[in-house]
Structure 1
Amino acid sequence: MGRTSGLGDSAIAEAGPRPSADTWLPPTAPKEKTSHHQSNSRFPKQLLASLLILLLLLAISFFIAFIIFFQRWSQLIKEKKNPKEVFHEKLICEKTHLNVEGKSWGCCPENWMISNTSCYFISSEAKTWTESKKNCTGMQALLLVINAKEEQLLIIQKLNRNSAYYVGLSDPEGMHQWQRVDQSPYNRSVTFWHPYEPSNYKEHCVFINFRQGNWGWNDASCDVPQKSICKMMKIYL
């Protein structure tokens, strides 16, 4: 009985003292775990943001493309349209016998004089030569350039003998080097000057008037207000 008790005490001594119930041990820190739910919720947000940015870029690109297309389309429409048709709202048309491809009507603006190929506007308002030139240009026309005797005869039938009318002929340098407003060459064989005209190197512009029983051209001061005649080609429809 005595040996048994001795062995038991020795075993207890070797094992060392047991911790008492009152001894405190720090709790083991739990391992941090990545939440699968949080990961899944973050992914749709990133995807949504990327989609929104993509849609915004597409919208901007579409808007820019639309502006460019609209500008080109507008330019194309303007190029196809005759500017005279845009300016003159009312036209007087007649069947044309000229060989104009795809066109059967020749038109002039309302209140303009009609010839075979041209339209003429006889202004009743007196202006300087420069103002008259601008007035014709504003109507998509030019100051009258007479190209043939038949045209001169046609025009004078509609003119008032008590008035003078500026035409598209001037001498900017004062040397009687006459220039036509349509940039065509000055042709001395197709001129209708009054006798002894042009007569004054200080008079740089030309009007047509009735003198000594005839209509003809006369050089005159460009600053004196006179009536005028505008000319434009027919509009073919």
Structure 2
Amino acid sequence: MLSISVHLALYLTIAALHAPTQALGQCSAPWVPFKSSCYVFATGYPEDWTEAGAFCSRLGAKLAEIETVEENNFLRLHAFDMHAESHFWVGGTDVLVDGQWIWISTQEKMQFTDWLPGEPNGGLREGCLMLVSGSNNYHWNDANCHSQQSFICEKEVEIGGNPSIIG
């Protein structure tokens, strides 16, 4: 088993090979910008939901929390364009109270959702949120948290540059 630092280094090396070499907006490669957030699509090293969240945390990020239809569409389109056959963990869960879906970093109730028809349907067996690929077009599904999947991390846009000095 690879150590966490070797695992992270391998992921970032491979991700950098598949991303533009220049900074994207205020997000450095391989992060992808959208509005005030940067996202990275972690593929090739599937993790369970808890480990995916820990991996994001080591990057100074969290599992993506989808709060608007625009953000959802951006993530769905980007996932489809880059990784059409991967499922992706994001930061929603109902493990604290079955049937009450929240974003794990804030424990706020989800205001926006994009569930597949008939979802969520897993009861106590499926308490973690994933975007489902294939013919499901990355709509939402509750899934077993122990399933090994790709995942999406989100962090705030990096504020860079030197402040201007006036006067």
TM-score normalized by structure 1? 0.53
Q: CA RMSD in A?
A: 1.9
Corresponding residue pairs, total: 135
The answer as to 2:81 corresponding to 1:150 is no
Match of 2:18 in 1: none
Structure 1 equivalent of residue 23 of structure 2: 92
Instruction: Give the direction of change, closer, same or farther, for the CA distance of 1:200–1:93 in structure 2 (3 Å limit).
Output: closer
Q: Identify the match of residue 110 of structure 1 among 24, 29, 37.
A: 29
Gaps (5+ residues) in structure 2? Answer: 1-20, 161-167
Larger helix share, 1 or 2? 1
Q: Which amino acid aligns with 2:36?
A: T
Mapping of residues 13-28 of structure 1, within 5 Å:
none
Partners in 2 of 1:136 and 1:109 — Cα distance? Answer: 16
- The higher radius of gyration belongs to 1
Give me the whole-angstrom Cα distance separating, in 2, the residues matched to 1:187 and 1:174.
13
Task: Give a deviation string over 1:136-190, Cα, whole Å, max 9, x none.
Answer: 00000000000111111111122123110000011223511222122152234x1
User: How much does 1:194 deviate?
Assistant: 0.3
**Aligned match of 2:50 in 110, 117, 130?**
130
In 1, Cα distance between equivalents of 2:29 and 2:84: 24
The answer (yes or no) to whether the contact 1:161–1:209 under 8 Å persists in 2 is no
Amino acid at match of 1:114: P
Distance 1:205 1:180 in 2: 10
Distance in structure 2 (CA, Å) of the matches to 1:215 and 1:93: 24
Q: Alignment identity in percent?
A: 27
| Distance change in 2, residues 1:138/1:213 (3 Å) | closer
TM-score normalised by the chain length of structure 2: 0.74
